[in-house]
Structure 1
Amino acid sequence: MADSNNSLRNGPMLASSTIKPIWRKVFTYDWKFGLFLILLICIPRFFLVLMANQTGNYGPIGAIMFGSALIPFIFLSGTGRAEIGIKSPKRPKILLLGLIAGIIFSLVLYYIGKTLFDGSLQNWYVYIGQSYNIPEQISADDKRILFGIMASTGMIFSPIGEELFFRGIVHGTFARSVGDKKASNIDSTAFALTHIAHFGLVYHNGHWDFYFLPTLLWVCSMFLVSRLFFKMKELSGSLLAAIVCHAGFNLGMIYSIFYLL
């Protein structure tokens, strides 16, 4: 609580050094800037994911993840980047804890989906797994290779892009205005709602469906896992722990899709 209060109290004094000089006449480092960033990234991403689910072309998703990762480096000074957690962790052991916690969360989410919805498209992992295009007839060796490729990319691109963006600069702007706890709720809500494009609005056999209960459970799960990512950042003092925890979650999810469904 003291850290949050200090952040609020010292906000006006620190804001001028947080954003790069070129942006200081345009933006103030506060919730309005954070809202601008959410609209700038999340709305285009939402529709790009929906289009990708329809067309099977996921190239633009990689581009927007790359853009998300660049945002802190475009707008923030070195001081600002350190403030949001782009620095070495104070407690490196938290990285291992974060990796394990992320894997466990993804496996729990698998068992919830499997128990409630089995192999139907109302199961989030079943629907997401369609984008991996795993051949029905595939040898064990080829499956391991494909899993390795998907796991490697899944553990790098979205964890880096999303954590630098959501738990990084977006969280920082709102934390400056309302404190860390409320800011975490805000960035987690934005993260969760954005992921409705990944599961919730489901495209199948040429038309769109919306599954209310599965979507509600999915959104709540994305909110909770976002809070977990932030907790790892908070415990370690670095975004690296959030990235590693996110990578662990993606690893568990991809493993579930390849080997448990």
Structure 2
Amino acid sequence: MTTPQDDLLPSTRRTLLHRIALAQSEGRAPSLVATVVRGGKAVWHGARTSVDGHGPDENVQYRIGSITKTFTAVLVLRLRDEGLLDLGDPLEKHLSGTGAGEITIAQLLAHTGGLAAESPAPWWERTPGSLRPDLADVLGEQPFRHPVGRRHHYSNPGYTLLGALVEEVRGAPWEDVLRREVLEPLGLDRTSGDPQAPHAGGWAVHPWADAMMPEPMEDLGRMAPAGQLWSTTGDLARFAAFLIEGDDRVLNAESVREMRTPAAPSE
């Protein structure tokens, strides 16, 4: 019986291993996992590590950071497809009192709402979400950096607003909605808000020395829809296949094709 990796030429496998070894070295990453998807299936898995006792594979969780935003976008498109909102609606129509309600849902999805890239200090990815309990704490006193709709400017607070929108319309926590409507139907049982063993430990490489420093694992609270999730290359391979083909249980092919269409003005 053949396996998916048997479909790859030996030279292709060697090239992939060389690429991830080089990426780990040049990126000074404590560990690295990678998967290749072809024809809707994972056809290759690879890993590199410099952490003693750590053997990552396609079932080991890593924090996936801003890939979380793609999951949040899927939830918003589901609301649109159910007729519960229109992407051209101003946020204020469904989520009032944010101070950013003139932005449309489509602009938030495309990072064209003019919002700041980050929430006010301290850095949200390394501090507990309890420091930002309300949306006002996420947006700060001066949430805008550019006129609404004029240019692309990546915004983490923008996706926090989209997560809050999902909660408002569904009447349930963002992570609960995500699990019920996306993770469970697609069989992504190794994707979660908090790390589930086996998972990679949190490490950061010192910027000026080859020394690893422990990285805190924080519950990001309100910022979770922008970057909270943990997942595996196995799950992300299945999610990637869904984003190509669609799945009527979650989003049909037309809607995922719409998600892949650029919608931001040129710089």
- Which structure has the greater CA radius of gyration? 2
Structure with bigger helix share is 1
Higher relative contact order (CA 8 A, sep 6+): 1
- Shorter-chain TM-score: which interval? under 0.3
